[in-house]
Structure 1
Amino acid sequence: MLRRVTAHLELDLAGETNMVFSVAAAHPASIVSESVSFELDGRSLTATELVDSHGARLHQLVSPGGRMIAHYTAEVAGRTDPTPVSDLDLVTYLRPSRYCESDSLTPTARSEFAGLSGHALLSAVTQWVDDKLSYVPGSSLPTDGAEQTLLARRGVCRDYAHLVIALLRALDVPARMVAVYAPGLSPMDFHAVAEAYIDGAWWVVDATRLAPRQSLLRISTGRDAADTAFLTSHWSDLRLTALEVLAIVDELPRDDGLELVQLG
């Protein structure tokens, strides 16, 4: 499997801004070739790469005001081995978080999925969220969490993932969010899915069913969208004026939705 990914961002910075970009393929991807660049009004800027505990590669830089262009491209061969499991992860990803209010949704989860466990539970939650929500671009706010998504009955990929994660945590299943490149996604964009810990491993859960899970490429991993945003900024206002994402694979897998899949 050979995946080719690109992310192109254009931004207007009102003044000096501290930015963290999360667009690079996470370690330990088998990167064949890669480039990352940042330009302000045509002048090259250098970013510092930081790597978190899940292998997410964050590029941080401080820039004066002006017109910024950020560009990332990579070719990744094959699939990586499953991510290691730590005891701390299994504690962290059981807790409620800002966008995954598992404590509020516990009565709903227990009512809807009573008696289910293991992979049968993952399948049931995936189908339930798919049935309950409509995928409507632009229908949710960046501050919406799983509870608001369920009330609105619509959202985008991050909203689907938040609801899946909240329901699973409410049922004592560790679950987390992953930002990915998703070959086959239409319209193309960054994508968000859930990972759930069952039977000693992390499994991909994507209730949107918009792209085959077998070709997803991990960018970042965390509690919810607060940990996996492709860009965070501080100090001055910025405006994202253009965003282009491309993810292709040499042979697009067929995902029947029933196979157990791990991110690689």
Structure 2
Amino acid sequence: MSTHVSARLDLRVESDTDAVLSIAVARGWARVEDLSLTRGGHPIAVEEVLDDHGTRLHRATLPVGDVVVTYRAEVDRPAGPTASDTVDSLRYVRPSRFVPSDELAATALAWFGGATPAENVRRIPEWVFTHLSYTPGSSGPTDTAIHTLLLRQGVCRDYAHLTAGLLRAVGVPARLASVYAPGLRPMDFHAVVEAFVDGRWEVVDATRLAPRAEYVRIATGRDAADTAFLTTLSGTAVLEEIEVMAVAGDDLSGDDPTASVLLP
């Protein structure tokens, strides 16, 4: 059965803003969808740009005033997992802005250096789950995995950045995926990690807040810089309110954190 997802962003645009949205489901997921940007009921033109791994970005020039962004979709899970290539295994083992895995290397190798990649794909998310406290409002938009390791608290993006950083530091390629997550409480856009092991990308989520098998892919990249739901390239837009919804088409199942789950 189809999963229903939606999002609404209320923005106060204080100067003309070049904005990029990443709220539409990835290519191949949507059966029916609608994306709308309006100011005072008048539509705003949007350009779609296709990024890596089927990520669909929507770029628009937002005029001054109150802008409403709405998205709705009925989605079906694609048949197979996302393709990968040699470049992916190199790109996602390197440090990135929010995942400075080189700075985490000494710590990660001391804690997890003796394990195989498959073992670390289980051990590292377990460590993050056990040692961090999920605390809304505890982190800022520029915090990196280092901040999270020191503070031992954060939200989903912080859990994902630290998990990816520790994995990369011990040689396991890891990338971030933003998803719609049926069963998530409180409901919001959700950030998780995909780790490359045994020739495939496995979903790991150290927050354990929702069943991974129900996730719907939105965007995929190195870290939150690639997967943020809203990026302003110029101008000023203030997010006044956000609503996100994701409802599975059937009953939600439990999630065994030791089981392998693949996200198409």
- For the aligned pair, the TM-score class normalised by the smaller chain equals over 0.9
TM-score w.r.t. the length of structure 1 is 0.97
How many residues end up aligned between the 2 structures? 263
How well do the aligned residues superpose, as a CA RMSD in angstroms? 1.0
For 2:217 and 2:156, the matched residues in 1 are separated by 15
Give the superposition deviation at 1:195. Answer: 0.5
Aligned counterpart, 2:163: 164
TM-score w.r.t. the length of structure 2 is 0.97
Tell me, yes or no, if the aligned pair for 1:177 and 1:194 is still in contact at 8 Å. yes
Deviation track 1:84-139 (CA, whole Å, cap 9, x = no partner) reads 01111111111111111111111111111132113221110011011110000000
1:8 is the counterpart of 2:8: yes
Give the superposition deviation at 1:261. Answer: 0.3
**Sequence identity, in percent?**
48
For 2:179 and 2:76, the matched residues in 1 are separated by 16
Aligned counterpart, 1:70: 69
Matches within 5 A, 1:1-264: 1-29=1-29, 31-251=30-250, 252-264=252-264
Give the superposition deviation at 1:179. Answer: 0.4
Q: Structure 2: state its 5+ residue gaps.
A: none
Q: Structure 1: state its 5+ residue gaps.
A: none
Give the superposition deviation at 1:235. Answer: 2.5
Describe the SS at the equivalent of 2:167. Answer: helix
Tell me, yes or no, if the aligned pair for 2:52 and 2:220 is still in contact at 8 Å. no
Tell me, yes or no, if the aligned pair for 1:94 and 1:173 is still in contact at 8 Å. yes
Give the superposition deviation at 1:175. Answer: 0.5
Tell me, yes or no, if the aligned pair for 2:173 and 2:196 is still in contact at 8 Å. yes
Query: Structure 1 segments of 4 or more deviating over 3 A?
Result: none
Tell me, yes or no, if the aligned pair for 2:28 and 2:78 is still in contact at 8 Å. no
Give the superposition deviation at 1:253. Answer: 2.2
Deviation track 1:210-233 (CA, whole Å, cap 9, x = no partner) reads 000001011001110011000011
Describe the SS at the equivalent of 1:104. Answer: helix
The amino acid of 2:3's aligned partner reads R
